[in-house]
Structure 1
Amino acid sequence: MNETLAATLGELQAQIYWLHDAEEFAQLASAAATIYMKLGYTQQQAETAGNLISQAYQLSDDAVLAQKAGNFDKEMQFYHQVKDKLTQVETTLVYQTSIAIHQMKWWMYFRHKQKLQTIIHLFLQHFKAVGWINLLTAIKLTYCLMEIGRVHKSRDFKTTKDNAIKYWTELLKIKPPQYSYLG
């Protein structure tokens, strides 16, 4: 396991959250693409995945606006589009297991402040990617992402980055056949 790689990926992941907040979607796409290039995907795969992830973030913001407007049907339409974009990321990266639905759902439940549902879908996203043999790792990854979300809300970039580095350190230890991270 390369600690330098985990540090680089953690910093990029933390940047993505801040770029999302700043609505710097082109830079977000670039940061996501860099993550996938560092993980060994081709430049074309990485750029495609990065752009799709950026689009998913934008659509999730549209879903939040629909939620605030009280338009549940429109909100769900946007979240289904988010799932579709994340599914395209999976296809681009040649993933075998569908985890996009769980990422979309934990994004939605996180924004609805439904903590238990958020945790369940965070766990399922990781468990489906890493499997039974890495159950403990799936639990650790879920915890790391919950901590990233909690600290990010308080606008603590350093601790967010530190938690993201822990996330990648755990994930890279097991050398998974596919990564549970989709942005």
Structure 2
Amino acid sequence: MNYDLAMTLGELQAQIYWLHDAEEFTELANAAAGIYTKLGYSQEQSETAGKLISEAYQLADDADLANQAGDYDREMQFYDQVKDKLIAVETILNYQNSIAIHQMQWWLHFRHKQKLQIIVHLFLQHFKAVGFIHLFTAIKLTYYLVEIGRVHKQRDIETTKCNAVKYWAELLKTKPPQYPYLG
């Protein structure tokens, strides 16, 4: 396992969260594209995936605004669009197992502060990507992402990066046929 690669991927992942908070969506797309380039995808695949991930983040923000306005139907319409963007990322990256629905679901439950559902969908997202043979890894990856979210909310940049590096170090050990990370 290449620790330098895990460091780079972890830093890019942590950067995405802060770029999202700052609503710097072009830079977010570039950071997401950087992750996929480092994972070995072509420049075109990476840039397209990054753009779609950035758009998914923007739609999730729109969904949150609809939720705050009490418009459940509109919120779900936005989350359907988020799912569609993430499915398009999977298609571009030639993923075999769809994990987009779980990514979208944990984003939705995160915004609604539904902790158990967040954990369930994070786990399913990772389990579907790494498989039963890496069950304990899927559990660890879920834990690391929960921790990333927790410390990010506390605005602890260094611990967020540290957890993201641990996430990628653990994930890269499995050499998965597809990566469970979609942004």
> CA separation in 2, counterparts of 1:174 and 1:101?
22
How far did 1:142 drift? 0.2
> CA separation in 2, counterparts of 1:2 and 1:124?
26
> CA separation in 2, counterparts of 1:105 and 1:81?
12
> CA separation in 2, counterparts of 1:110 and 1:21?
15
> CA separation in 2, counterparts of 1:20 and 1:110?
15
How far did 1:49 drift? 0.2
Q: Which runs of 4+ in 1 moved over 4 A?
A: none
How far did 1:48 drift? 0.4
What is the SS of the residue equivalent to 1:117? helix
Map of 1:155 onto structure 2? 155
Q: Is it true that 1:175 corresponds to 2:175 in the alignment?
A: yes
> CA separation in 1, counterparts of 2:104 and 2:111?
11
Unaligned runs of 5+ in 2: none
How far did 1:17 drift? 0.1
Instruction: Please report the TM-score for the alignment, with normalisation by the length of structure 2.
Output: 1.00
Q: Is it true that 1:11 corresponds to 2:38 in the alignment?
A: no
How far did 1:19 drift? 0.1
How far did 1:52 drift? 0.2
What is the SS of the residue equivalent to 1:61? helix
The 5 A counterparts of 1:4-153 are: 4-153=4-153
What is the SS of the residue equivalent to 1:40? coil
1:2-57 CA-to-partner distances (Å, cap 9, x unmatched) read: 00000000000000000000000000000000000000000000000000000000
Q: Is it true that 1:2 corresponds to 2:2 in the alignment?
A: yes
> CA separation in 2, counterparts of 1:122 and 1:111?
14
Which amino acid letter does the alignment assign opposite residue 44 of structure 2?
A: Q
Instruction: Please report the TM-score for the alignment, with normalisation by the length of structure 1.
Output: 1.00
Unaligned runs of 5+ in 1: none
Q: Number of residues paired by the alignment?
A: 183
Let me know the Cα RMSD of the aligned residues.
Answer: 0.3
> CA separation in 2, counterparts of 1:64 and 1:9?
27
Q: Percent identity?
A: 76
